[in-house]
Amino acid sequence: MKIGLIGDAPAGPILLKAWAGAGHELIGVFVESPEAIERIELLLPEVPIAPMAAVAEEAEVLVFAVPYSDIEITCQGLTDLGLFGPRKILLHLSPHHGIEVLADAARLGAIPIAMHPLMHFSGTSMDIHVLQNATVIVTAPEPFGPIAQALALELGAEPVDLTQDQRSAFAEAFDVASGFSSLVVQQAMGILEQAGVASPARLIGPVVRSEIDRTLAQPVRPIDPEDAK
């Protein structure tokens, strides 16, 4: 399929590069920031940087790699231009939304997909290797689930399906896990740094990873309010 990209997020060109390796055609990207332009020039030098509307019109699969607060308004604007219709696949990468932000185009027959790889993107070629072992959260209307799964598998990743009704819970869990873990790790490293310990990340990293692995291996149990005191 012909794949295009809109947005500056580092995940965008990495996914496009992986899909190109699976045989898809990259028809163009719309990026604006100097950092995003440099990433495209390094990772996808043969892919043209083009106007947003031109990319949206030509692509059979259009990837939105924009901030989560901009997905809906970007989709709406392009829909109003008459660029989306039946069999056009629209795919966004945010963990904070399901397919509801692509509803304007879906009403005209476009196929909405929410896809979020569970990894940190540096925007370098090293991400391609990390992606091979990643889990990808996918949400799509029931008839089109196999399309979303196939796109995830072509990245070399493992797809995990979430229904639209489960997306809000995932977004909340994602924010809690990422925000809380970052805060705790920073606090632990700060304690060591204030004590004059060299390389606090090297010392605390194994502890954090082993504790996370241990916790993930345990059954989920209700949180007792007394435990939080």
CA-to-CA dists, residue 23 to 3, 58, 207, angstroms: 11, 17, 41
Look at residue 226 and tell me whether its pLDDT is greater than 70.
no
2-162 to CATH, choices 3.40.50.300, 3.40.50.720, 3.40.47.10, 3.30.420.40: 3.40.50.720
Task: Give the torsion sign (CA, 41, 43, 48, 54).
Answer: negative
Among the listed ranges 70-84, 109-123, 215-229, which one has the minimum average pLDDT value?
215-229
Instruction: Sketch the domain layout of the chain as residue ranges.
Output: 2-162, 169-218
Query: What is the distance between the alpha carbons of residues 72 and 213, in angstroms, rounded to a whole number?
Result: 36
Mean of pLDDT over the chain: 91
Give the DSSP H/E element, type plus range, for residue 226: none
What pLDDT, in 10s, does the model give residues 8-59? 999 999 999 999 999 999 999 999 999 999 999 999 999 999 999 999 999 9
Q: What is the pLDDT of residues 101-152, one digit of tens each?
A: 999 999 999 999 999 999 889 999 999 999 988 999 999 999 999 999 999 9
pLDDT of residue 223: 60
